[in-house]
Amino acid sequence: MRELLAVDFLMAADDHLALELYTGFRAFRDREQFTFGPLLAGETHRCTDMVHYDLRDNLFARIRVGSYRTWGRGERLETKQFPGISGDERDA
């Protein structure tokens, strides 16, 4: 599995990080138990997430992720949304 991340928004405090994160997962082999449902070899799953990290002693103490956009197969992707993660499966 290859995971590509692009941060669009970041807000930081001493003990907290908040991000808007674009993520692409590319399967190199069939993944029947993938988080978002089965993913076959060569397929890519893309989503937009809000991620919140609580920090303690400069380590992640708690991580919360909420997906609010999932990109369907064949759906056109904007480069602003997925810089470096194009709609062409060969590039993912």
In a domain, 39, yes or no: yes
Containing structural domain, residue 30:
2-70
What is the pTM (predicted TM-score) of this model? Answer: 0.66
Residue 71 has pLDDT above 80, yes or no: no
pLDDT in tens, 4-44: 888 889 999 999 999 998 888 889 999 998 888 888 998 88
Domain count, the chain: 1
Q: What is the CATH number of the domain that holds 8?
A: 3.10.450.50
Going by C-alpha positions, the residue among 11, 40, 14 that lies closest to residue 27 is 40
In a domain, 89, yes or no: no
Q: Is 46 exposed, middle or buried (0-12, 13-18, 19+ CB in 10 A)?
A: buried
In a domain, 82, yes or no: no
In a domain, 20, yes or no: yes
Q: To the nearest 10°, the Cα dihedral for 46, 88, 38, 66?
A: 0
